[in-house]
Structure 1
């Protein structure tokens, strides 16, 4: 196949595999920190199982990258 036709074939194949694939499993973490009378929040996601999204990686927008949050427990004291 010519390269242009092969790209269309692989796009169709990837979309088909994604449509019948396992769901994406992710966990969302939200950190709320208080300093003086101010409240700071941060949130992030961790992917547990890629599921159907592993077929769509090359078509994903590069702009929206999620931030990886550090391991923090309730009551931890953080330095600024």
Structure 2
């Protein structure tokens, strides 16, 4: 594992070494994830899937489907009663 020592600037900024940016295909304007992991600070590229966001979307979709189903059932009962 290669390493580089970097100084943190007054605003908390750290430059990712060029050799790492090249190896990881990181360019200016790209997003990276900064997190703590087992007592270490880890900077990594997003894997393209935010599982929490995906789970929330599925939950929201399921809730909308449930509400729509309830509306259709009510409308169907009303129609049957009317006929």
TM (norm. structure 2) is: 0.25
Greater RCO, 1 or 2 (C-alpha within 8 Å, sep 6+) = 1
Q: Which has the higher helix share?
A: 2
Q: Which has the higher strand share?
A: 1
